[in-house]
Amino acid sequence: MDLFRNQIDPNQNILPKDGTVNYFGPIVALEKADFYFEQLLNTIPWEHDVVHMFGKRIVTKRKVAWFGDKPFEYTYSNSTKRALFWTPELMELKKLTESLSMETYNSCLLNVYHSGEEGMGWHSDNEKELKQEGAIASLSFGVERKFVFKHKSTKEKVELWLGHGSLLVMKGETQTHWLHRLPPTKKVRTPRINLTFRTIEL
């Protein structure tokens, strides 16, 4: 199933079953989105991500940062991170995201993909620290990239394009029944920054 490229209805569930995903499209004006992109790219203390898979330590090309209400720890792919305190820009984006999604979040994982050659494989955001069936809000800045969901049992797929300044919210049983990924592509040569606001159970 290939979604219309930019037909936007934030009340529509883009998944056919077993979860809820809403796409809001751009939530900030272009000039403001450009501002946030530059600020995040140049002021966030980005670090290469380190994951442990199949007994190997892998340093990713993409870079990450982790922020939150408190310096709590978050573990994924057998790698543990301690949250930094919010920057003014991240706090602004957090409040805007909360007002639109009608959810609350206490942390944010940031990723920067320097080009289309950097992506993310199939996974679910179901780490033990996360609020079960809690909302995860994905905010994108920079180049438009394809984002794909795949049902764990039926293997059916849903594809959409995440644009500059756009918001996607996943909630309910989505992480239980669906995988998602950011496919790599050689067609994209510029960066994308992704913010995933989430709730850690303290």
Is there a domain that residue 174 lies in?
yes
User: Which residues are CB-neighbours of 40 under 8 A, at least 6 positions away?
Assistant: 89, 110, 112, 141, 193, 195
Is there a domain that residue 14 lies in?
no
What's the structural domain count of the chain?
1
Is there a domain that residue 8 lies in?
no
**Residue 112 maps to which CATH number?**
2.60.120.590
Between 122 and 58, whose confidence is greater? Answer: 122
Whether the per-residue pLDDT at 2 is higher than 60: the answer is no
Q: Read off the pTM.
A: 0.90
> Are 102 and 58 a contacting pair, CB within 8 Å?
no
Is there a domain that residue 1 lies in?
no
> Are 64 and 194 a contacting pair, CB within 8 Å?
no
What was the pLDDT predicted at 97?
A: 98
- For 57-68, write each residue's pLDDT tens digit: 676 788 999 999
Name the residue range of residue 84's domain: 20-198
What was the pLDDT predicted at 54?
A: 62
What was the pLDDT predicted at 76?
A: 66
Is there a domain that residue 108 lies in?
yes
